[in-house]
Amino acid sequence: MLRAAAPFTVELREVQAFPTSQVLYISIGDGCKQLENLHSRLDQGHFKFTEPWAYRPHVTVAQELDPSRMAATMDLAARRWREFTGPRRFTLDHLTFVQNVGENRWADLADCDLRPVLV
Distance (Å, whole) CA 61 – CA 73: 10
8-93 under CATH 3.40.1410.10, yes or no: no
Question: Could you state, in order of their start, the residue ranges of all structural domains in the chain?
Answer: 8-93
pTM: 0.87
Q: How far is CA 104 from the centre of its chain?
A: 16
What pLDDT, on the 0 to 100 scale, is given for residue 74?
95
Q: In this predicted model, what pLDDT tens digit does every residue of 60-99 receive, in sequence order? A: 999 989 999 999 999 999 999 999 999 999 999 999 999 8
